[in-house]
Chain A
Amino acid sequence: AQSVTQPDIHITVSEGASLELRCNYSYGATPYLFWYVQSPGQGLQLLLKYFSGDTLVQGIKGFEAEFKRSQSSFNLRKPSVHWSDAAEYFCAVGAGYNDMRFGAGTRLTVKP
């Protein structure tokens, strides 16, 4: 069965430091891959998505993610974190409307 794992429940980084959030998945084939961000009290906002082609995907707010087929991973990165990036981040994978699986989320705290 397909599954999504975000190994880090909570990450704290200093403002200006680099960030990497991990996402691993288990799926029968290469699924569609997504990262969403959720600010407190808000719904989820799509950061980026991967369907095929270039394995390095650029998203909004300066985020990027790299798909690594051999590692079944789709890690999210940002070179320099801003205080406004503090939020919860969700990785999602799927191949159909009733087939989307979300990870449990990683909460990001940004230290001044």
Chain B
Amino acid sequence: NAGVTQTPKFQVLKTGQSMTLQCAQDMNHEYMSWYRQDPGMGLRLIHYSVGAGITDQGEVPNGYNVSRSTTEDFPLRLLSAAPSQTSVYFCASSSLWDTYGYTFGSGTRLTVV
């Protein structure tokens, strides 16, 4: 089925470890983004991209890196995991012609101990 695929679904990290959350979409969407969801806080934008080779910071970018080498993939890297990064992470994409109607992945639940 077409959509946004996130891997892994669950991950436990130790403080200081690094990892990459994967996000892939097969809808040829130009726009891709990463959000984190924390209880009582809704979703907050981490990083976003409007096309291959173009990325920018969102509301809470510290501790995260992204790159966009292809239209399909938008990985999120945690450089040195901290307990404050325990959260559920969502990747979203949209066509630039669909004015912000996002398609979301099913999420990655990350726990940092």
Contacts and interface: CB of A to CB of B under 8 A. Distances in A.
Interface of A: 4, 9, 32, 34, 36, 41-46, 49, 51, 90, 92, 94, 97-98, 100-105
A100 B45 contact: yes
B101 interface: yes
Interface string B9-41: 000000000000000000000010101000011
B50 A97 contact: yes
The B interface, classified by DSSP as helix, strand, loop or mixed, is strand
A43 B33 contact: no
Contacts of A102: 35, 42-44
Contact of B99 (A4, A32, A105): A32
Given A97-B31, A97-B48, A104 B100 contact: no
A36 B48 CA distance: 19
B100 A45 contact: no
Interface stretch (B63-71, B72-80, B103-111): B103-111
B48 A104 contact: no
B4 interface: yes
B70 to A, nearest CB: 19
Contacts of B44: 102
B6 to A, nearest CB: 8
Given A49-B99, A105-B42, 19 more contacts: A32-B99, A32-B100, A41-B107, A42-B106, A43-B105, A44-B43, A44-B102, A49-B100, A49-B101, A92-B43, A94-B100, A97-B33, A98-B57, A101-B42, A102-B35, A102-B43, A102-B44, A104-B40, A104-B41
A92 to B, nearest CB: 8
B42 A104 contact: yes
29 contacts: A4-B42, A32-B99, A32-B100, A34-B100, A36-B102, A36-B104, A41-B106, A41-B107, A42-B106, A42-B107, A43-B4, A44-B43, A44-B92, A44-B102, A44-B104, A45-B104, A46-B103, A49-B99, A49-B100, A92-B43, A97-B33, A97-B48, A98-B45, A98-B48, A98-B56, A100-B100, A101-B42, A102-B42, A104-B40
